[in-house]
Structures are given as structure tokens and as C-alpha cells.
Chains A and B, each alone.
Chain A
């Protein structure tokens, strides 16, 4: 237990320091703390550079989570319902982007886009994010879809329902909270992605890139503020995902993100 508490302290205290200093009334990053102020928030929110980075991050993360939700659900459905010999090689393919280092994937995409003379833009960032986020979504969606009772789908098909009707009226009602939760996680992952984004971003900026340039400028107290906002932007989808996946299912089996993660990691 002591190790667990120490590990949690180790994980959260440095982040707490950043959050605390984002409210500091002076520019110093040293204790003693001189007083609370929202001046850095005012400064950051007023900056056009920050606002466009935040807008870009929001647009890309939303698009990523929508594309992943649609393609990922289709893919997880296909992979869990087929007995084809392509099932295993396809699954391996879809998990490849997280097994390869981000710098490798980012550079491969950069070279590819440049050979095809595709201008780097938020669209190329979207492509990179979808690739990166897809395995995480698939992991959770696959676990959820493979634990539904096949008898229900068979019964519906037996009663004359077409494949689409079976999916929409029988399968989807059992798993949609988990799918939405997974897509919230996709949003969080995309919102924070830096390693691959750095290579394919072009002239636009995203929030992590904004922080990266702040890191290069050395001590700039407004980075604390942007960091705090970035932390909130990843924590909130995480909590949403947790709540959504904690909802009891129609069949009474209380399942949650934890079990999804475990089932898929096992």
C-alpha cells in the first residue's frame, strides 16, 4: 500500500506543482507561493497564438474521435464476427501503429506526404492521429463487442432481421456507452499527441506544439496555464469515458473501462 501511495504521489505531485504555479501572482516558479491570481489565464486566453492552437487541437481531436468511432466500430464488429483466416493478420496490422516508435511513424508519413507533394496541414495531422489512436479504440471496442451474447444476435436474425437491423437494434444497444467512452479517450489521445504530430504538422499549431515552443523559450509562466488547460482537456474525456463505461448494460452485467482494459491487455 505504501508503494501505491508513493507511486500516486510521484505521478500527481509534479503535475500539481504546475497547476499551482498557473495561479501564481508573480512570474517566479519558486516557493514560497506569493498569492493567487488569474493574470496568466487572462494573458493566455487573450493571445491569438494560443487561441488558434486551441482551436486547431479541438478541431483535430473532434475529427479524430468521430472518424475513429465510425471506422473503429465497423472494424471491431467485423473482426469479432468473422471466422475468416484474415482475422489475425488484420488485427496485427491495426495494432502496428502503437508497436512502432512514434518518431518512425511520423517520419514515414512525412516522407510519404512530401513524395506525393501533399502540403502539410491539419488534414495530415488528422491522418496521423487516426492511425495512432485507432489501436487504443480497437482494443476497447473489440473487448466490448466480443463479450456480447451471440445468442441474442442469432435470435434476431432468426426472427428475420437483416444484418444492419441486428447491428443497430441488438448489438449497438449493448455496447454504445463503451464505444462512446472509447471515442472520448480517442479525443484525449489526439488532443495531447505530440511525437508524431511534430513531423506532419506544417505551419499550423496545436496546443502541445504551443507548449513545446514555450519549453524552448525557457521559463515562461504562461506555460503553466496552458499546461493546466491541457491536463483538464485530457482528464475530462477520461472521466467521461469512465462514467460511460461504468453504466450497467442492458443485460445486467456491470462492466467498466477497467474490465475493458484488462480484458484487452490480457
Chain B
């Protein structure tokens, strides 16, 4: 955008005409967000300090909800389950996403647009339908068990898959993988093919190219994909209910129960705030690691001339 600050005469008038008022165009959405997003979150924060009634709350302000959640026997297990599911899902998504995005960027050729379209379609495919689909596939009479039975590998249906953390992670990878592929692909788009050719010409093998050239340059997109997946997977409350066993409940499930079943809204609110606090902590750790690495190795980075 050519915003010449010191432009004078007719040009200045022109610039004013084009640039003075556009901020006003954001006013309707800003007001909407203030009234229907920021104020609700503020109210929600206050609410987490109120005393619980049944499906409502009243004053005075208290720390009891937070104390109750932190001191509760179930919280450590729920938090661990959430963190593990978030971690496994994010790591698996990255492990699959990297080769796929790399292939799409550098070797898919004329199939690139078609494959990208497939990933976009998969990204928008219904969330609940996927959970349902995995229950159908993994269930005792599901496709996998039927196949195992008919091939004579087992005599009775295996309960190994359904109602386990594995099933939760499989479904969440299924739901979140397309996002990771697209984010990593966008990252690879900024990487000039000449960079890899140079590495190859200098004698770097596949492993060295990934370790010394590709991964260092892809740290930032990888970190944002990781955080995005970690938060969405760890906060999920539907998948563990339908695909997890009794020991696989997560923080989101507890929050949902407080809202719908026990009617203890302030405790649900306190749990939700503590969960978001945990996510902020993870985000802070990830970005601190990134910064540390940046400071550690300035060499080997490329500049993009766009």
C-alpha cells in the first residue's frame, strides 16, 4: 500500500479521501464483537468467582470454585488425559502432515490443485459425522473387527480400539489433519525450491536436508500448527464421550457435565478458565523454545524476497 506520509497538495487530498475513514467500516463488527464477545468473556470471568446455585450463581465473590477444581481428586487425571490427547494428536498430525505438505509443494505437479481440494473438502467434512464414522469402523461389529473375524485372525470382536484413548486420538487426527497439511503447505510455499537444490548440490542427503534445511525453516508454521491442534484436541468434549472409555474423560467432558448435568456453572467456568490458562502456558513455552532456537542459530536461515 502506497501510504506516502509527506505527500502534499492534491496527492494529500487524494490520500485523505482514500485512507482517512476506512477504519469506520470496521465499526459494526467491532461493536458486535465488543457486546457479544468481549463483554460475555468478561462476565464469564466474574461468573467463575461467584457462588454456585443450581444452573445459576450469585454473589459474593469467592475463590471457592477455583480451590474446588484445583483440590479435586479427579482434576489431575482429567488434565493429564487432556494434555496427552492434545500432545499425541498434535505430534501425529505433524508426522503425517510434513511429508504430505512437502509432497504437495515440491512433487505433486499437476495433481497439486486436486489434492489440495480434497484436503479442503476433508477439512470441512462434518465433525460429528467423523466421530460417528470412527465408532462404526472401530466398533465391535465394525469394519475392522469384521475383517479380523472373517480373516480368522481373532475369534471374537476385539475391544482394543473402541472406547480407548487410541480411538479418541485417531478421530481427532482425522478431524485436525487437514488443517495441519494446509498450514504446513503454506509454510513450504515460502521455501524456494532452489534452497533444497543448493543443499542437494552441496551433498546433503535426505536426512541432512530435512534436519538442517527443511525443519529449521519450518519451525514457525510447525509451531502454530502444533498449538492449534493441541488446543482443539485437548479441549474436545464430544470425542471422549463417544469413543473413550470410562478412564479417558477429559477436562471438556467435566465442564460439559457441570453445565448440563450437575448445574454447577461457576465450577464449570473456573475449570474452563484454568484450562485456557494451561493453553496459554503451553503457548508461552512453545514460543520461548522458538526464540531460544532463533538466538542459538542465526546461520542457515534464508531470506524470502517477496
Residue positions of A touching B, CB distance < 8 A = 1, 3-4, 7-8, 10-12, 14-15, 17-18, 21, 28-31, 71-72, 74-75, 77-84, 86-87, 90, 93-94, 96-97, 99-105, 107-112, 114-115, 127, 130-131, 134, 146, 150-151, 153-154, 157-158, 163, 166, 185, 188-189, 192, 194-195, 198-199, 208, 211-212, 214-215, 223-224, 227, 230-231, 234-235, 237-239, 242, 256-258, 261-263, 265-266
Question: Across the interface, which residues of A come within 8 angstroms of B119, CB to CB?
Answer: 8, 11
Q: Which A-chain residue is minimally distant from B185 (CB atoms)?
A: A262
The answer to whether B146 touches A163, judged by C-beta atoms less than 8 angstroms apart, is no
Given A103-B255, A131-B37, A208-B128, A112:B43 Cβ within 8 A: yes
Given A1-B107, A17-B133, A107-B44, A84:B37 Cβ within 8 A: no
Given A103-B252, A261-B186, A83:B129 Cβ within 8 A: no
Bound-state CA distance A166–B21 (Å) is: 13
* Interface flags, B138-158, vs A, CB<8A=1, else 0: 010111001100000000000
Which of B21, B22, B56, B174 interacts with A11 by CB under 8 Å? B174
- Sample (23) of A-B pairs whose CB atoms are under 8 Å apart: A4-B115, A14-B133, A17-B136, A18-B132, A29-B136, A31-B143, A31-B146, A74-B29, A78-B26, A81-B22, A82-B26, A83-B19, A109-B40, A111-B44, A111-B47, A130-B32, A185-B124, A195-B127, A227-B126, A227-B128, A231-B125, A262-B185, A266-B186
Q: Is B276 in contact with chain A by the CB < 8 A criterion?
A: yes
Question: Across the interface, which residues of A come within 8 angstroms of B236, CB to CB?
Answer: 195
Given A104-B275, A150-B2, A266-B189, A94:B124 Cβ within 8 A: no
* Interface flags, B254-265, vs A, CB<8A=1, else 0: 011001000001
Bound-state CA distance A231–B56 (Å) is: 37
The answer to whether A211 touches B25, judged by C-beta atoms less than 8 angstroms apart, is no
The answer to whether A104 touches B30, judged by C-beta atoms less than 8 angstroms apart, is no
Which of B124, B135, B178, B272 interacts with A192 by CB under 8 Å? B124
Residue positions of B touching A, CB distance < 8 A = 1-3, 14, 17-19, 21-30, 32-33, 36-41, 43-44, 47, 56, 96, 99-100, 103-104, 107-108, 113, 115-122, 124-137, 139, 141-143, 146-147, 174, 177-178, 181-183, 185-187, 189-190, 221, 231-232, 235-238, 242, 252, 255-256, 259, 265, 268-269, 272, 275-276, 279
The answer to whether A3 touches B130, judged by C-beta atoms less than 8 angstroms apart, is no
The answer to whether B137 touches A17, judged by C-beta atoms less than 8 angstroms apart, is yes
Bound-state CA distance A3–B39 (Å) is: 46
Return A264 CB to nearest CB of chain B, in Å.
8
Q: Which 8 A-B pairs have the closest CB atoms?
A: A78-B25, A101-B235, A112-B40, A81-B22, A78-B26, A108-B44, A265-B186, A14-B133
The answer to whether A93 touches B33, judged by C-beta atoms less than 8 angstroms apart, is yes
Question: Across the interface, which residues of B come within 8 angstroms of A103, CB to CB?
Answer: 235, 237, 252, 255-256, 272
The answer to whether A223 touches B132, judged by C-beta atoms less than 8 angstroms apart, is yes
Return B243 CB to nearest CB of chain A, in Å.
10
Bound-state CA distance A77–B27 (Å) is: 12
Which of B36, B40, B129: most chain A Cβ within 10 A? Answer: B129
Return A5 CB to nearest CB of chain B, in Å.
9
Given A100-B276, A111-B43, A115-B43, A78:B104 Cβ within 8 A: no
Bound-state CA distance A215–B126 (Å) is: 14
Question: Across the interface, which residues of B come within 8 angstroms of A84, CB to CB?
Answer: 23
